[in-house]
Every structure is written in C-alpha cells, then in structure tokens.
Amino acid sequence: MRESRRTFLKSGIAAAGSVSAGAIAGAATVAAGDVSERTAPGNAPHLEHSAAVTLEVNGQPVMLALDSRTSLLDALRDHLGLTGTKKGCNHGQCGACTVLLDGRRVLSCLTLAVQAQGRQITTIEGLARHPGALHPLQQAFIDRDALQCGYCTPGQILSGIGCIREGHAGSDAAIREAMSGNLCRCGAYANIVAAIRDVARRSASDVANDVPATGG
Ligand code: FES
Ligand code: FES
C-alpha cells in the first residue's frame, strides 16, 4: 500500500519523539570512549582542548568528553545521536539547528557545548511526552501541512514554541517577524504561520506545560 506524504511525515515526527533514554545513554558511553581515544599518546595534541561537559538533554543528564570547541549542534548530533536537530548552514543563517536552552531558543550551531554546561536543552526528540502524544505544535504542523521536505521543520517547531512563549504570536505579522530567522527553502511559510497561530490561541502557559521540564 502506498503511503501518503502526510502519513509518512507523521510517522517520522512520532519516531523522532521516541528516541529512548537508552539511545542517549549509549551515545554518552561512546563519547566516554572518545576520551580514552584522545588520551592515547598519538592523540596528545587534542588534550589541550578537551573538556568534560554535563548537559541535561530532554530531561536526562548526560556527561560528555568533548573538544572544547565542539558546537552544541555537533554534540547533539554526533555525540548523542540526536539527529532531529538539523545542520543547514552551520553559520547562524538558516535556523535549522534551533533548540531550546533553558526554555529560550538558540542556534545550536553558534553555541558551544561548553556554554550549555549544566543547562536544560530541549530538542525535537524531547517534545512528545511519549510516542503517539505529539506536542500541540507538532500536531498543528501536521494538521496545517506546514512542511514539504521537512528539513527545516524541527527548527521551525522549536522556534515556534519560543515565539509563542515570548509573546510574539499575537498576529500573523508578529509571527512572521519572530520567525524570520527560520528559513524554509520549500516555501511553506504561510502554513507554518497558520500552525503557530492555531497553537498561540491557547495560552502560552498551556504550551509551556506541554513541553517537558527541559523546556524551562
Ligand atoms: S545550521 Fe545553525 S543557523 Fe543554519
Ligand atoms: S519544508 Fe523543506 S525546507 Fe522547509
């Protein structure tokens, strides 16, 4: 049976929300393995840049041994396997890498992992409370067909949550302005604004309560 694009994307969003604690724990173990690799004599030059970083990612504490120059984006994707956060430009120009840091949206490609030490990070994988229970804005994106290829979507959703929380979703013009840092090459802007507008009709506190504790 042929799957519709909407069905396929819905299952993809749900799957992103079901990354298990074990997956993160496993990734953290791999990262710990990197330390011994870096401490091997042949890798001595890396030592001067190594740092132990403790993050709280989607409600789970994780400890990583990283090169201190590692971006939060690379820490999430390459060390924790949380590839829902997308790398677009890697230069702060597209918004694809947006995550919440202590409840506020940041560009993870321009944030060093060490800057997130001890802070709460929410990624797209942490929005759903459990598989099948999407965050209202995830559901609104599906209902409004606010995506085509889906590459920008995790960043759009995290940024949309930030936009609502910041009180910048009072009108379509305000939403467009607040979301102007999130580019969509597929041009799904009208439906993205509609999805955010739908959810913004609920109180900002309701939305905040739908984000797990990591959302701040
Ligand atoms: S990947 Fe971070 S802004 Fe483009
Ligand atoms: S849906 Fe394709 S880039 Fe936004």
The whole-number pLDDT of residue 45 equals 47
The whole-number pLDDT of residue 212 equals 52
CB distance 192 to ligand 2 below 6 Å: no
The pLDDT-based confidence of 41 (bands split at 50, 70, 90) is: very low
Mean pLDDT of 5-18: 47
- Look-up: residue for tokens 């939060």? 72
Question: pTM (2 decimals)?
Answer: 0.79
Task: Catalogue the E-assigned strands of 29-182.
Answer: 50-57, 60-67, 98-101, 104-107, 120-122
CB distance 89 to ligand 1 below 6 Å: yes
Distance CA 62, CA 124 (A): 17
For residue 111, pLDDT over 80 is answered with yes
Burial 131-147 (b: 16+ CB within 10 A, else e): eeebbbbbbbbbebebb
**Total structural domains in the chain?**
1
Pick 21 or 116 by higher pLDDT.
116
Atom 3, ligand 1: residue with shortest CA distance = 92
Domain CATH number, residue 3: 3.10.20.30
Mean pLDDT for all residues in the chain: 82
Strands 50-57 vs 98-101: parallel, antiparallel or unpaired = unpaired
Residue 58 structural domain: 1-216
